[in-house]
Amino acid sequence: MNMSATVSPALKKKKPFYKDLSFQVFFGMCLGVALAYFDAKLAVDMKAFGDAFIHLIQMLIGPVIFCTVCSGIARVQDMKKVGRVALKALLYFEVVTSLALVLGLVVMNIFRPGEGMNIDASKLDAAAVDSYVTQAHHAITASEFLLNVIPMTVIGAFARGDILQILFFSVLFAFGLSAVGERAKPVIEAIDSISAVLFWMIGLAMKVAPIGAFGAIAFTVGKFGFESLLSLGKLIIVFYFICSLFFVLILFPICRASGFSLLKLMRYIRTELLLVIGTTSSESVFPKLLTKLERLGCQKSVVGLVLPTAYTFNHDGTCLYFAGAAVFLAQATNTDLSWQGQLGLLLVLLLTSKGAAGVSGAALVVLAVTLAATNTIPVASMALILGIHRMLASAFVFTNIAGNCVATIVVANWEGALDRRQLDIELNSGWVE
């Protein structure tokens, strides 16, 4: 059991609020919005700060996944457990993402934010979406996707930061360590030592997270302006409402059935949730989530397998976005989309939404694939939402992160790999460095 499990909430020393990372991130975001309001041009130039922070974290993600997966799985005596955990995780992902797609379609049909816009798709700037259409035409088939899981070279997978390929190699390497037995003990100890160094580096990188959040949010608001929020404000409001409903109608009951509080979990990971709002990058918080989920009482082997897999397949918020954006564009362009047509759209989305696993940051590309596959909604209509995509991305990445943390705890609970006492202690007392 981790040392933190034996620490009572009363013994955890709280920092002054201004030293709390979540407060610093929030303050940085407020400064970014203020700068964009007073000097939009200067705010756009702040993009480098956000990008630098994301690159700093991305540099560490591949090695962190490798060390975490290898260290966790290699210590599991029963290899059947690894397969069992993976199957339970994939089943959970499929059910919850399907519910997200249905929720997105239903709510968009009730509020109909695109109705009355009467957009003629032929008059839109098709060149604005050409790059996404081009990538959509090169979208991988199911067989290509399965083949792409296997990296051509290990170094190539790490260089590209391809989470799925890194995960595949890490699992195989971990199985090899387990099969070798005692002879692999020095390697496992070396991996643990490297992991400790990597997490020290992550701790150092997180100290500049407020600056990264400042730069990212300043660029977003400065680049697209408050006018973007107003021009398509109805879609933004409805989409944020859909994400809220997902928390209330789907994640909350799941957490309740699993015996823990969703609100307390969100408070526990509040810094990471704030960061993804500012940066719209789920990768920027991946390493820290590994640490927090382990401290919550989830076994290292389960966290190391489920969280990277969730990053690849459990895109709850992105599925809400796919469903919502597709129906909105149909409404805005007066495209006739009957319930039969929407059922077909749902079936297409069930397939194409999994395509996001093959490409980093592929939301717009997969949306283009979906629209092309329906052969009814004009792909050029995507130009309508390009200006507010980052606004929408803040909401769906936020939802993805919360959903992935819930998924990891739920799967750990199903597998009997969750320390309930430690979970209660940590959630009640909150995260303390």
Domains and CATH numbers, the chain: 30-429 (1.10.3860.10)
pLDDT at 362 over 90: no
* pLDDT over threshold 90, residue 99: yes
How does residue 400 score in pLDDT terms, banded at 50, 70 and 90?
A: very high
- The predicted-structure confidence for 10-21, as pLDDT tens digits, reads as follows 445 666 777 788
Query: How large a percentage of the chain has pLDDT more than 90?
Result: 42
Q: By percentage, how much of the chain surpasses pLDDT 70?
A: 86
Q: Supply the pLDDT for residue 138.
A: 53
Sole residue written with tokens 């919360």: 402
> Which pLDDT belongs to residue 381?
84
Q: Find the angle CA(362)-CA(136)-CA(110) to the nearest 5 degrees.
A: 70
CA angle, residues 257, 315, 400, in degrees to nearest 5: 70
For residue 259, give the DSSP letter. T
Residue 338, SS3?
coil
**Rounded CA gap, 306 and 215, in Å?**
31
The CA angle 374-315-58, to the nearest 5 degrees, is 120
**Whether 394 contacts 224, CB under 8 Å:** no
Looking up tokens 């789907």 gives 250
**Per-residue confidence band for 307, with pLDDT thresholds at 50, 70 and 90:** very high
- Indicate if the pLDDT at residue 406 is higher than 60: yes
In the numeric block, the tokens 């990538």 are attached to: 135
Q: Residue 357: its pLDDT value, please?
A: 47
With 70 as the cut, is the pLDDT of residue 226 above it?
no
pLDDT at 23 over 50: yes
CA-CA-CA-CA torsion sign (32, 37, 39, 44)? positive
Average pLDDT, the chain: 85
Give me 171's structure tokens. Answer: 């699992």
pLDDT score for 20? 81
* pLDDT at position 134: 61
Max Cα separation, the chain? 69
pLDDT at 7: 47
- pLDDT above 50 (res 8): no
**What is the Cα–Cα distance from 133 to 126, expressed in whole angstroms?**
10
Question: Would you say 401 and 245 are in contact if contact means Cβ atoms under 8 Å apart?
Answer: no
Contact 191, 88 (CB under 8 A): no
Q: Give the pLDDT confidence score for residue 1 in this predicted structure.
A: 38
Q: Which residue has the tokens 């409805």?
A: 238
**pLDDT score of 290:** 93
